Amino acid sequence: MKTIIIDTGFWIALYNPEKEIDKQDIIELITDVINEYQVLIPFPTLYEFLNSKFSRKNNDINFKEKLSKSNYIMVDDAKYKQKALNNFFIKSTQSKTDVSLVDEVIKEMIDDTNLKTDFIVTFDKALENYALSKNVKFI
- Is the pLDDT reported for residue 57 higher than 80? no
Predicted confidence at residue 139, as pLDDT, reads: 82
Q: What is the largest CA-CA distance in the chain?
A: 42
CATH architecture of 3-138: 3-Layer(aba) Sandwich (3.40)
Predicted confidence at residue 58, as pLDDT, reads: 63
Q: Would you list the domain boundaries of the chain?
A: 3-138
Predicted confidence at residue 97, as pLDDT, reads: 73
Cβ distance 105 to 114 under 8 Å?
Answer: no
Can you say whether the dihedral through the CA atoms of 73, 79, 82, 86 is positive or negative?
A: negative
80-102: average pLDDT: 88
Indicate the pLDDT class of residue 104, thresholds 50, 70 and 90: very high
12-27: average pLDDT: 90
Indicate the pLDDT class of residue 30, thresholds 50, 70 and 90: very high
Helices (H) and strands (E) in the chain, counts: 8, 5
Q: How far is CA 23 from CA 13, 20, 85, in A?
A: 7, 6, 30
Span of 4-8, 63-67, 91-95, 122-126 with lowest mean pLDDT? 91-95
Q: pTM of the prediction?
A: 0.90
Of 8, 1, 3, 30, which is closest to residue 103 (Cα–Cα)?
Answer: 8
